[in-house]
Amino acid sequence: MARREEHLSKANMFWNLAQTKVRNEATPFLCMNLIMYTVGHLIEALLAEHGRHPSSPPRGVPHGDRDVLLRKVLIGNGRLEPEWGDRYSELVARRDTFIDGGTQDRVFVESYMALARPFIVRMQSFQSTPGQS
Amino acid sequence: MAGVEAHLDLSQTLYEDMRRASLESEWPIVVDAGYYAVFHGMEALNALECRDAYTFADAADILENVLAPRGLGAEFVEDYRYLFYFRRGALYGAHVPSSSQIAEFIRRAERCVESVRRLMQAQGASDVSLEMGA
């Protein structure tokens, strides 16, 4: 399991890559993933401050448990405002790894970035002051 | 649910992204694009027979019980597991892969993509035969 500093380091790496790749109009599927990896690491950095780490179903990914812990630990104790729980759920719901709704395009990526950016900025505000809002 | 062509197109695009990223030392792109190039290749094979994976667990189950016995084989299964858990550890977890680990990842991803292409061609050939005989 990664520690807070490792999650923050990866969040910064993915966020830099996401912004560059979106600007350079890279493959939308990859841009979407880079944005989600940024969000995931920022949430897990905050959770790590509370000694929590999401689990994953067998052969799966941790999105569902991350959602539960975000709401229970970070929103439940007032660290994050309630609206960010629904924002995370929406980002997970719109991310289509299995391309059920067709392959992502440029318009999708721009709307996905617009949805994620305020949430990322809010979580980045915790980086310099762990344990405080 | 996507059709064969959508999965194949995305698989090919991501495969090229992996190759390009390896030249630019962008290891997170190598890992993400390489894994999903293989995954969507498998989904293309599934789409040929009206199957869809809803989860990664589905994909692993279908691979082990349908695609491997029908031609992808045991080496592909081992490579796929390697790619899947490498991606989880490197992208979701704390690990930062070395250049030799990335080279191994690429080698296995390339081998998987080539296996999918071979099986896709064989499958396509038999479909054509079926249509002609009908």
Q: What is the pLDDT of residue A132?
A: 55
Return mean pLDDT, chain A.
94
Count of positions (residues) in chain B: 134
Helix axes B27-48, B73-87, angle to 10 degrees: 140
Query: Is A106 within 8 Å of chain B by CB?
Result: no
A22 located within any domain: yes
User: Does the model's ipTM exceed the 0.90 cut?
Assistant: yes
Domains and CATH numbers, chain B: 4-133 (1.20.120.330)
How open is the CA angle A12-A93-A32, to the nearest 5 degrees?
40
Is the pLDDT at A23 greater than 90, yes or no? yes
CA distances to A4, A41, A88, B92 from A1, in Å: 10, 12, 21, 9
Q: What is the pLDDT of residue B123?
A: 82
| Contact criterion met (CB < 8 Å) for A58 and B40 | no
A129 located within any domain: no
Query: Is B40 within 8 Å of chain A by CB?
Result: yes
| Contact criterion met (CB < 8 Å) for B92 and A57 | no
- At A53, the amino acid letter reads H
Q: What is the pLDDT of residue B42?
A: 98
Q: What is the pLDDT of residue B2?
A: 76
Helix (H, G, I), strand (E, B) or coil at B100: helix
A130 located within any domain: no
Give the mean pLDDT of A21-26: 98
Q: What is the pLDDT of residue A101?
A: 83
| Contact criterion met (CB < 8 Å) for B57 and A59 | yes
Q: What is the pLDDT of residue A128?
A: 80
How open is the CA angle B3-B40-B50, to the nearest 5 degrees?
35
Structural domain that includes position A75: 4-123
Q: What is the pLDDT of residue B91?
A: 97
Residue in A with minimal Cα distance to B42: A98
| Contact criterion met (CB < 8 Å) for A30 and B88 | no
Q: Is-contact A28 A103, C-beta < 8 A?
A: yes
Q: Is-contact A36 A62, C-beta < 8 A?
A: no
Dihedral (Cα; B88, A35, B96, B24), 10-degree rounding: 120
Query: Is A42 within 8 Å of chain B by CB?
Result: no
Q: Given B2, B55, B91, which is nearest A60 (Cβ)? A: B55
| Contact criterion met (CB < 8 Å) for B57 and A26 | no
A101 located within any domain: yes
Give the mean pLDDT of A102-129: 95
Q: Is-contact B68 B76, C-beta < 8 A?
A: yes
Give the mean pLDDT of A45-64: 94
- Counted domains in chain A: 1
Q: Residue A15 maps to which CATH number?
A: 1.20.120.330
Q: Spell out the per-residue pLDDT of chain B, length 134, in tens.
A: 579 999 999 999 999 999 999 999 999 999 999 999 999 999 999 999 999 999 999 999 999 999 999 999 999 999 999 999 999 999 999 999 999 999 999 999 999 999 999 999 998 755 544 444 43
- How far is it, in rounded angstroms, from Cα A133 to Cα B5? 48
Please state the pTM of the whole predicted model: 0.93
Share of chain A above pLDDT 70, in %: 96
CA atoms within 13 A on the CB side of B49: 11
A132 located within any domain: no
A131 located within any domain: no
Note the helical H segments in A24-98: 28-49, 63-69, 83-94
Is the pLDDT at A131 greater than 50, yes or no? yes
